[in-house]
Amino acid sequence: MSARFISIEGITRRFQAPDGGQTTVFEDIWFAIARGEFVCMIGHSGCGKTTVLNILSGLDLPDDGAAIVDGKAIEGPSLDRAVIFQSHALLPWRTVLGNVAYAISSRWPKWSRSQVEEQAKRFIEKVGLKGAEAKKPAQLSGGMKQRVGIARALSIEPKILLMDEPFSALDALTRGTLQDEVRRICLETGQTVFMITHDVDEAIYLADKIVLMTNGPEAMVAEIVENPLPKERDRNQIHRHPAFYAIRNHLIDFLVSRSKTFKSEIPADYDRRKPPVILPQSQPQPLPPSHEAGRKVA
């Protein structure tokens, strides 16, 4: 059961096209996430990554299929699943403390004010914003705003953390620090995370598994890449790991060419319900960048 804590079962999403017809963003997608796993989804713009995340958060519903969490189909938003939005989505008329407290008092409506504040302060401190509690979002830098967004999401102690390109609007330095902190916090608490990104290095650094989406419309899951790097990884050392370039080349190769061509050359044994799981292995030669670089393990 724990291997399928989150189970995406054959979801399809169609949107009304401007000409009156229907566009199928993605069709019949299957994959699963185990408890405590950090899964990234990679794909080009328009492949429906955000829609998959919205379905997981309950903000959107699939036209077919179901997203199942802990044995129950998702029918709407839930406090069990916290979302970190790309645009941080803080309420600008509330202070940092107020924004986090709003989430906490939604989660535990019976808590007293002091209980709520205590919990809020704990998480604000956890993301390194101690001292900024009384500031309004407009007084914060982009990185600090996103830290508040992270504190707000974590403070309700969700079963699942959903992140929609949370660091894409930040500068490289801030992005790095925030990645480190999110990784540390998630490892500490054994948080189950589903994150969307189009940054290959971010995915390699953070994820246990990476779901690759082909280009939309009618996008599909091409394969699931297992991260060969050890769970304990150091941002400054991972590029020395023998498998680092194998997985990096594999991902880049997919994004550059195979995401386009995958649908026209679907392998004979491809099964939508069980997308192939690839474990990229270290190669003796530096650059043989093709899908042979990975060895099928399932």
Partner 1 sequence: MRQTSLRLRAGIVSLSILLVFGLAWHIGVSGSGPAQQMDPEYAKLMGQTAVQGKSAMPGPLDVLAKIWSHLKEPFYDRGPNDKGIGIQLAYSIGRVLLGYGLAMLVALPLGFLIGMSPLMARALDPFIQIMKPVSPLAWMPLALYTIKDSSISSIFVIFICSLWPMLINTAFGVSSVRKEWLNVARTLEVGPIRRAFTVILPAAAPTIVTGMRISIGIAWLVIVAAEMLVGGTGIGYFVWNEWNNLSITNVITSILVIGLVGMILDQALARVARAVSFPE
Residues that bind partner 1 (CB under 8 A): 57-59, 76-79, 81-83, 85, 87, 89, 91-93, 102-103, 106-107, 136-138, 156
119: burial class by Cβ within 10 Å (0-12, 13-18, 19+)? buried
Nearer to partner 1, 81 or 147 (CB): 81
3-state secondary structure of 88: coil
- At residue 286, φ and ψ (nearest 5 deg) are -65, -40
Q: Rounded to the nearest whole angstrom, what is the least distance from the CB of residue 263 to partner 1 in the complex?
A: 32
What is the spatial distance between Cα 118 and Cα 125, in angstroms, rounded to a whole number?
Answer: 11
Nearer to partner 1, 1 or 138 (CB): 138
Q: Rounded to the nearest whole angstrom, what is the least distance from the CB of residue 67 to partner 1 in the complex?
A: 15
Nearer to partner 1, 99 or 249 (CB): 99
Nearer to partner 1, 87 or 261 (CB): 87
Q: Rounded to the nearest whole angstrom, what is the least distance from the CB of residue 14 to partner 1 in the complex?
A: 20
Q: Rounded to the nearest whole angstrom, what is the least distance from the CB of residue 174 to partner 1 in the complex?
A: 20
Q: Rounded to the nearest whole angstrom, what is the least distance from the CB of residue 280 to partner 1 in the complex?
A: 35
Nearer to partner 1, 21 or 76 (CB): 76
What is the spatial distance between Cα 73 and Cα 97, in angstroms, rounded to a whole number?
Answer: 33
∠ Cα 147 185 97 (to 5°) = 35
Contact predicate 134/95, CB 8 Å: yes
Helix (H) or strand (E) holding 145: helix 142-155
Nearer to partner 1, 136 or 263 (CB): 136
Q: Where are the beta strands (DSSP E) in 34-152?
A: 38-42, 64-69, 72-73, 81-84
Residue of 293, 297, 198 lying closest to 246 (CA atoms): 293
3-state secondary structure of 64: strand
Q: Rounded to the nearest whole angstrom, what is the least distance from the CB of residue 36 to partner 1 in the complex?
A: 22
Which residue type is seen at 128? G
